[in-house]
Every structure is written in structure tokens, then in C-alpha cells.
Amino acid sequence: MVIGNQKRLKIKSIESDPIDFDIKEIYGMSDEELYLEATHEVESEDKNPALWAKVMTLSEGDHDKAKYQYIKLRVEQLAQSKKEKSPVFTKKTVDEFSLKYMPISEFSRIKSIPEKKIIKMIRDGFYIGQIKDNEWFVSRDEVGKEEVIKKSSTPSNIPKHSKQEYIPVDEFAEFKGITPEKAIAMIRDGFYQGQIIDDKWYVAYSEVEKEKTSTQSSSSSFFTKLTNGDFGLPKTYWLFGVLGGLLFIIPVALAAAAESLGALIFILLASVIYSLIVAVGIWRASDKYQGAKVWAVLAKIAVIIGIVRLLVDLVSLGSI
């Protein structure tokens, strides 16, 4: 047996053809490490009984020859085992999402936990997961995490996650214009990434960056949030609906007093467009509202009445 700085090895089994492979390319282990592991094993009481019995028989009871045969065959077994454990990529290219997340079925097999329980643990903040194409995926970082997260008095005792990576759910909810309860529900449903740290909910800061990236200009961001109802029902209804609508009264009155037909038509059209945008925002904000349902119902009734008034205004505008 020769132990040296050999990059490639040809390991010949007594009962098989030579096997040629690059050990240094298998799971990050060098040939020296494999030989050292096999040597320590044969010198200890942890020898593989079946393999030892085989080499003793083939060596006709010669203890020293049996050791050499054991090391050769054991290195072959260790190398093959490491090779089988190395990750296999079936795709030629792997997107960024696949590098960060794995299918829940694969995570379930590794952890030996039913998929339904994993989904519940994601929703409860114990694991980080996402829904993509109506299927659940789990962060690959969770593979090495303990199933039971120990409670800690200080966040510094949590090695994987820190508050620099997460923001309190209250701050995130204020940023999104929704209630903290709604934000937590959306985390549980996989729409946002979140985590429980010290018995408190936190949202991944990447969700804030994602929101900032998705809107390029302040004007588009404002109208997008307005039409999506992200400002919340009270603010959308009273500030943008009631107060915003009153702001058009003065320009309309001035245009009518000046008998400026062009200005009057322009202002009325702007008022109609703005009212439609606000109506959509109020309706969607009502769907997201977590308070008493009566306010959401009344807001929708007000939207319907407002649309009827808009139709009347359009008819009046057409008769000018």
C-alpha cells in the first residue's frame, strides 16, 4: 500500500474490476483523509465485522495482509459512500430560488416530519418557507436547524437570525398600511417571510426591500398603494376620499363663476378619474380591514353611492 499525494486512485477490489475515480472531487475529502480514516478504523475496535471476516479469509489468516486488504476495500467503500451523498443537480442551470429553497417534500424526507406539520411550523414562525406556483418550499438553511427552538432572553443567543435581518411586525405593518394581525396572517400563509424571535413576530427585512424595488417612482408608488388599499380603510376613506373630494369643489366653483367651459370640463374629468381611483382603493381597503365589519360594509355602501353620483355627473357633463 502506498499513501502519498496522489490526486487519482485506482482501487481494485479482489472480486471486481478496477474502479477509477477522483477522490478529491468527492464531497470535499482528499485521498489522505480517506486512508487515514480507514487506518484508524482497522487499528481500533470499530472495524466492520463483515469486511474484516472477508479479508481475513482472503488473506488465509495473515493478520498483516488482512489489514492492508481491509484498508484498500474500506477506502473504496468510504469513497463510494461520500460520492452517493454528494448533491446531484438534474438541471444544467439552477435559479436563485432553487439555491435558497427546497421543495417541502424533500425537506419532509430529510427531517422525517409530515408535510402538513412543516406547513404549520412555517406558519407558526419556526421555519422559513415560501409559496411558489401554489407549492410550498422551505429555506435550505432550515435543514441544519433544531426542531425545537430554545427560548432565549437576548436575541444575541440566536446564531442564525438577528434583528438586523428582521424588523418588528408592528413596523412592517405600519409600512404596509395594514394591521399587525393581518401581517402575521400573511406570514402564516407564506406571502411574507417571518420568524418568531423571543416570542415576538418579526418580518424579514428583504420584504421591505422587495416593496421598495417594486415601485420605481413616488407617484406610481402612491397610486399603486392607494388603489390596492394599502393605506388602510380609515386613511383611504377620510383623507383621500372625503377630504380629497372636497378639494375639487373650489376649482369647480371658480371655473363655473368665470364661465370657463374648458376649465370646468377638465376639472370635472380630473375629479371623476380621481374619484374612481379612490373608490377602488376604499373597496380593497375594506376587504383588508381587520376591525369591526360594519365599517367595511358602510364604506362599500358609500362607494356604491359615490359611483352612482359619478354617473350622474358624467351625464350632466355630456349635456353641457
Q: How far apart are CA 239 and CA 281, in angstroms?
A: 12
Query: For residue 295, which amino acid is it?
Result: W
Q: Using the 8-state DSSP alphabet, how is residue 260 labeled?
A: -
Can you tell me which residue has the cell 420605481?
Answer: 216
pLDDT value at position 87?
56
pLDDT value at position 320?
56
What is the rounded average pLDDT of the residues 158-176?
68
For the whole prediction, is pTM greater than 0.75? no
Mean pLDDT (the chain) is 74
Query: Mind listing the pLDDT tens digit for each residue in 225-265?
Result: 888 888 888 888 898 888 888 887 777 777 777 777 777 77
For the cut 50, the answer to whether the pLDDT of residue 150 exceeds it is no
Report H helices in 152-216: 169-176, 180-188, 205-214
User: Could you give the angle at the alpha carbon of 276 between the alpha carbons of 271 and 282, nearest 5°?
Assistant: 120
Q: How confident is the model at residue 298 (pLDDT cuts 50, 70, 90)?
A: very high
Q: What is the CA radius of gyration of the chain?
A: 34
Measure CA 64 to chain center: 56
Single out the residue of 277, 287, 264, 285 nearest to residue 307, CA to CA.
277
What is the rounded average pLDDT of the residues 170-185?
84
Query: Mind listing the pLDDT tens digit for each residue in 38-66?
Result: 888 888 887 888 888 888 888 888 888 88
Residue 169 has, within 13 A of its CA and on its CB side, a CA count of 22
User: Which residues, including other chains, have CB under 8 Å from residue 72's CB and lie 6 or more apart?
Assistant: 1, 11, 12
For the cut 80, the answer to whether the pLDDT of residue 67 exceeds it is yes
**Crossing angle for the helix pair 31-43 and 63-85, nearest 10 degrees?**
130
The percentage of the chain sitting over the pLDDT mark of 90, rounded to a whole number, equals: 3
- State which H helix or E strand residue 281 sits in: helix 261-288
For the cut 60, the answer to whether the pLDDT of residue 3 exceeds it is no
Q: What is the DSSP string of 106-163?
A: HHHHHHT--HHHHHHHHHTTSS-EEEETTEEEEEGGGGGS-SSPPP-SSGGG-SS--T
Query: Mind listing the pLDDT tens digit for each residue in 190-239?
Result: 778 888 887 788 888 777 766 555 544 444 577 788 888 888 888 888 98
The span from the first CA to the last CA of the chain, in angstroms, equals 104
Q: Under DSSP, is residue 283 helix (H, G, I), strand (E, B) or coil? A: helix
pLDDT value at position 283?
92
What is the rounded average pLDDT of the residues 83-88?
61
Pairing state between β 18-21 and 135-139: unpaired
Higher pLDDT, 136 or 244: 136
pLDDT value at position 301?
92
